[in-house]
Amino acid sequence: MNYPHPLIAREGWPFLALAVAAAALVSWYSLVWSVPFWVVALFVLQFFRDPGREVPGDAKTVVSPADGRIVAVEKAHDPYLDRETTKVSVFMNVFNVHSNRAPVDGEVKKIWYEAGSFLNAALDKASTENERNALWIRADAGADVVCVQVAGLIARRILCYVKAGARLERGQRYGFIRFGSRVDLYLPPNARIKAALGDKVYAASTILASLE
């Protein structure tokens, strides 16, 4: 779902309003004591920032679904479509933009939600043990791509705004994960991977792979 908003994601509006109101209230009584409250408000502001992005490539292009760092590029079994794939994982810390974007142009065929633990999202076992929400997208290029939002150590809320049958455009906002998390991509084994372990990537604007 594309939605119009300024540079702050709509998911953050209540948090930012509360933080600013608290800081302003304390400032009324003491400017000195209000400093920590304004620091918290600034943190909330940076966490929920959601800048617009230029989306590169064509129908075969796979862009990053999240801001962060590549923590896995490996052959892996896709537990959702029961197939062998290449998995690319992006870890988001609390200072990254947490708006999630569609990696490819295509149709959402199915969605799986699974409750789970809240392990450190940088760990490999977070992909199978943490709370997660998976989208199976049939790309316009003909390939099946599975994009999985994974909760982290302090991430307690996965938000997904699309349903099966929805049409997604590459780089389109479709969800959000609050306070540190991970996104896993399961790509066909013949996809040409352009990301490398340790790369810093940006949602919608960094190319991770090309579909054959």
Report the catalytic residues: 181
Please give the distance of CA 164 from its chain centroid, rounded to a whole number.
18
The DSSP output letter for 33 is H
Q: What is the sign of the dihedral through the CA atoms of 160, 164, 165 and 170? A: positive
* Phi, psi (rounded to 5 degrees) for 24: -65, -40
Rounded (5°) CA angle 14-135-96: 45
CB-based contact 41:20 (threshold 8 Å): yes
Tokens of 132: 């997660």
